[in-house]
Chains A and B, each alone.
Chain A
Amino acid sequence: MRAFDYVRAGDTAEAVREAGGAETRFIAGGTNLLDLMKLEVMAPGKLVDINRLDLGGIEATGEGGLRIGALVTNSDLAADARVRRDWPVLSRALLAGASGQLRNKATTGGNLLQRTRCYYFYDRGEPCNKREPGSGCAAKDGMNRILAILGTSEHCIATHPSDMAVAMRALGARVEVEGQGSGREIALEDFYRLPGDTPHIETVLEPGELITAVILPPPAGGRQIYRKVRDRSSYAFALVSVAAVVAVENGRIAKAQLAFGGLGPMPWRDADVEDALVGETPSAALFDRAGDILLAEAKGYGGNDFKIPLTRRTLAAVLTQATEDDQ
């Protein structure tokens, strides 16, 4: 761990003011950042501790949604009665992530900014464009079982590891941020960047901008499912996950909001897939077609080729479950 300056901010204005430099990072739960700092994969010159900020509440919004403070822990958010009742896909996604100990510490804002779990990103003995721009990507021709098949570039094939963000993407959440002098809201679909040739830049956040909350739109209704496929039953990152909010009316699909984890550098959502489903009668052939659309540009790198059929089958199973008649 490199020596660093540490500031404990008293309020949001102070936090943002202290975070002006490019080498500065905010710290909340620290469940990912501290590990990366110990390995010197990340070596910020300054940490601004935001744990004393008043960002811990979950409130109803005027439009009927929820405003989730950036410091709400994963455990508290998953257990919130309103979330469990009206946005159950979010609660299930949270509980599918990490372990009980980590969820007690990890926060809503921090979860959105988790770094990838690519083996080579964690290994300073190996090239990685995300860790060290321009050094190359060892994963493409290396061990890439857990890595991405969508949205990759020749410079990076990392996945975003969050479960929470996948559910939020399906729900159409927005991110509230505070910067120097002004605040703004960013739709989650605009929040992350594809790697292109700058895989080290992962979001549209400006230096010093602080996530203060996540806004959930009003309850989406429908049937909500979060299905996570992984290498063991718990405490493993998704190989593929599907967050689904699906409603059927008069035998036809009236709503299909689908987001995917484990496939790309961001929680993945594809409007063409949803368009192809809405208005149609549920059938195996339809679900296959949805898979075709989703995976049209999927590219495997050897070790992760299996994610293509796995995604197709998991999506079909989730859609089947979401559209079948009540037993």
Chain B
Amino acid sequence: MTLETTRRLKHDTPDTDRRLDGMAQGVLGTGMDRPEGPLKVAGRATYAAEAHPEAMAEGYLVRAATIGRITGSNGDAIRAMPGVIEVIEDERMIRNAAQGMAGESPVQKQGQVWYVGQPVACVVAESFEQARHAAQAMLVTIEPDGTHVFDAEDPAAEVEKPKQKQLDQGDLEGAMSAAAFSLDATYHTPSMSSAAMEPHASVAQWDEDGALTLRGSYQLLKFNKAELADVLGVAPEKVRILSPYVGGGFGSKLGLAPEAVAAALAAQALGRPVRVVLHRRQVFETVTRRSETRQRIRLACDAEGKLSAIGHENLVSQLPGEVFSEPVAQGTHFQYAAPNRVIGHEIARIRRPAAGSVRAPGEAVGVTAFEIAIDELAKKAGIDPLEFRLRNVPDKHPENGKPFSSSTMEATLREGAKRFGWTHTPPRQRRDGEWWIGTGMAGAVRVNMMIEAMARVVLTGQGARVECDMTDIGTGSYAILTQVAAEMLGFAPDRVETVLGDTDLPPASGSGGSFGAASTSTAVYLACMELRERLAAKLGVKETELTLKDGLAIHENRKTPLAELLGEEEWRALGHLQPGKAGQEVRQATWGAIFAEVAVSDVTGETRVRRMDGTFAAGRILNLKTARSQCHGGMIWGIGLALTEAMEHDPRDGHMVNRDLAEYHLPVNLDVPQLGVHFLEERDDWANPLQAKGIGELAICGSGAAVINAIENACGVRVRRLPATLDQVMDGLIAQG
């Protein structure tokens, strides 16, 4: 019999023990390779679509090309096509992917098309090609249900202004008129897509007892399980989701998506396994996108550049019936001090595909626009933008006076400037042939969140196994959870096996909001701590006096092999983190500073990023290599946000026009220079017992502004509508003469 004991932490107070600093194995924080890396490069890591249960049929989604009420279809004719087994037109099909952490069904079809591109049926056939062909032949009759609005700025748009999302402190307008320098500018960011490399795919299989196993590609399995059960109307314990490998998420796989529901319904109807893989064009349309934003930013400062007022009023879009709205000003609430503050948040209900969380919802676009505005005001005041920021570092939360858990804004700015060799020069000073050369900088900030998480650790004399339903979406979960357990239990990492992505295992945090690594690592830490206590008790020593290293328990100059201590036993412990007051009593955040050098063609307005350097602080860094990769990714997103990425919606019906990877322009290798990434060594005791914070989203929150600011410094053209496509810059160059 194996005894499983549980160690719980309700995280209310800072953890000043910093136990990890007293461990001896020396693997945590190193740039350890991903343990599953060889499987991935050898093609032996099976992603969702690579499951092939016996007798599997293939499903393909049917897309609605207009909005309105569904009145019929040629489904019977489609059923007669070669290879077609069934056409699923179930009313339980979902309109769009669920929002992150919804835990319940999103809006279901119920005879209605809400946006162009909505999936309305699923054709199931013996082969993928037959299913796809039949799906493309399917006609759904849709009766128009009135006129609709497709642009958030259309005066006819229905706009909500939720009371709890507005803030008015002091007297912004008074401060604006009394200020030595002020700015009132409006910025736009476009609709964007996550565009993860692996398209969404699900393979659904029901057993005789009415239990469903779904192999899918998801980020938050415990929520996805609840969502799928709710959609289907079955008990959650009848649903198991497997996502051992996920080829990128960026928010697009937070919530259950239409392919999973279609696969589950089809498999149930047919009594055989069904696979549904989304075409890239369907991924763009049916999975949540980042809302476009309009951001009015007002700033005022005195002659020395001390901010006296901050206004950030935003308009975002969303489909009717969705709760989420892009939290644009999330970082603005605390990034800079100023006594007079207005924050506004409006949501236009329009008929574009549903919006949702995309990497760093809020700060990715909010901090980017705000950091452009700061640059503009610094310029007006004639102050170096680095110096301007340093003069406005808040010493506490500017709105509620709460302390910061740690504040590294100033340190990252100073260190980043030193590494980059920052010097402030006026615009239009440097030239290389037809290319204007300029430099720009921006601060980065992202809130830090912790989510409830459980994990099991099984200890034997030979090693340990970590088990939970955590996902690794390319971020490095397998690596860091292995490292935490290896460090705590004193094993070489190859003695630790980490098993993830199965809802039959303890529910972890899942991956999202940069909370995954710290939350689930804490659960693993707690389980390991429980095992350490049990080992210490067996040896009759205090846990704090016990050293575990290389499979040995070391105390008072005695070394006892764990194999001897445990014999054939298997010790199991469950770690359970519950976020507590630590998340409310202080403001937890991560900080950074990004510097860029660009060249802008005086002929065409094309921009090339020549150099980019980021300095970040996010508490303890758990794996140097995966953390750096996350920052590389964020900085590249920043380049895309600044220069290339925009999902275009047709003005006549809101449909996504450029919904493929040839025309939705992610930066390519040649757009990305050598990127510098540096971390400041930090311990944030308020965050968790690991003193670690989220790193996944920080670098995207500001990188784009550094590029936009560098364009202005290079050629004098200020772009306020992102991305800064060459035509916009060229127009500015022409206007300058």
Using CB atoms and an 8 Å cutoff, list the residues of chain A in contact with chain B.
1-3, 38-40, 117, 119-120, 122-126, 138, 141-143, 145-146, 229, 231-237, 239, 306, 309-310, 313-314, 316-317
Contact = CB atoms under 8 A, between A and B. Distances in A.
A306 B730 CA distance: 9
B282 to A, nearest CB: 12
Contacts of A145: 648
Interface of B: 63, 65, 82, 116, 129, 132-133, 136, 434, 603-606, 608, 643-644, 648, 650-652, 655, 657-658, 660, 662-663, 665, 667-671, 725-727, 730-731, 734
Contacts of A142: 650-652, 657
A141 B652 contact: yes
Q: Which 6 A-B pairs have the closest CB atoms?
A: A125-B65, A306-B727, A233-B670, A234-B670, A317-B603, A143-B657
B603 A231 contact: no
17 contacts: A117-B662, A119-B648, A119-B663, A123-B657, A125-B63, A229-B606, A231-B644, A232-B643, A232-B670, A233-B671, A234-B671, A235-B662, A306-B730, A309-B734, A310-B604, A313-B730, A316-B603
A232 B665 CA distance: 7
Contact of A143 (B63, B648, B731, B734): B648
A232 B668 contact: yes
Contacts of B82: 3
A1 B669 contact: no
Contacts of B652: 141-142
A102 B665 CA distance: 17
Contacts of B731: 306
Contacts of B604: 229, 310, 313-314, 317
Given A143-B657, A232-B644, A317-B434, A125 B651 contact: no
B420 to A, nearest CB: 22
Contacts of A310: 604-605, 726-727, 730
A40 B657 CA distance: 17
Contacts of A119: 648, 657-658, 663
A40 B726 contact: no
A232 B671 contact: yes
B730 A309 contact: yes
A231 B650 CA distance: 19
B83 to A, nearest CB: 10
Main secondary structure of the interface of A (DSSP, over half): loop
Given A119-B663, A142-B651, A142-B657, A313 B603 contact: yes
B63 A2 contact: no
Contacts of A313: 603-604, 730
Contacts, number: 84
B434 A234 contact: no
A273 B330 CA distance: 55
A239 B663 CA distance: 12
A229 B726 contact: yes
Given A125-B63, A317-B603, A117 B730 contact: no
A233 B726 contact: no
A40 B133 CA distance: 8
B14 to A, nearest CB: 46
A143 B730 contact: no
Contacts of A1: 129, 132-133
Contacts of A314: 603-604
A3 to B, nearest CB: 8
A117 B644 CA distance: 18
Contacts of B657: 119-120, 123, 142-143
B193 to A, nearest CB: 15
B719 to A, nearest CB: 14
A233 B725 contact: no
Which of A123, A237, A317 has the most chain B CB within a 10 Å cutoff? A123
A223 to B, nearest CB: 16
Contacts of A2: 133
Contacts of A317: 434, 603-604
Nearest to B667: A232
Contacts of A3: 82, 133
A34 to B, nearest CB: 12
B488 to A, nearest CB: 45
Nearest to B663: A119
A40 B138 CA distance: 13
A303 to B, nearest CB: 9
Nearest to A303: B648
B524 to A, nearest CB: 40
A234 B657 CA distance: 21
Given A125-B65, A234-B670, 18 more contacts: A1-B132, A1-B133, A39-B136, A123-B657, A125-B655, A138-B650, A142-B651, A142-B657, A143-B650, A145-B648, A231-B665, A233-B608, A234-B668, A234-B669, A235-B662, A306-B730, A309-B734, A317-B603
A160 to B, nearest CB: 16
Nearest to B658: A119
A142 B731 CA distance: 22
B729 to A, nearest CB: 11
A260 B603 CA distance: 17
Nearest to A233: B670
Contacts of B670: 232-234
A236 B651 contact: no
A314 B65 CA distance: 39
B648 A231 contact: no
A125 B605 CA distance: 34
A232 B723 CA distance: 11
Contacts of A125: 63, 65, 116, 655
A279 to B, nearest CB: 26
A123 B653 CA distance: 14
A19 B447 CA distance: 63
A2 B136 CA distance: 10
Nearest to B672: A233
A216 to B, nearest CB: 28
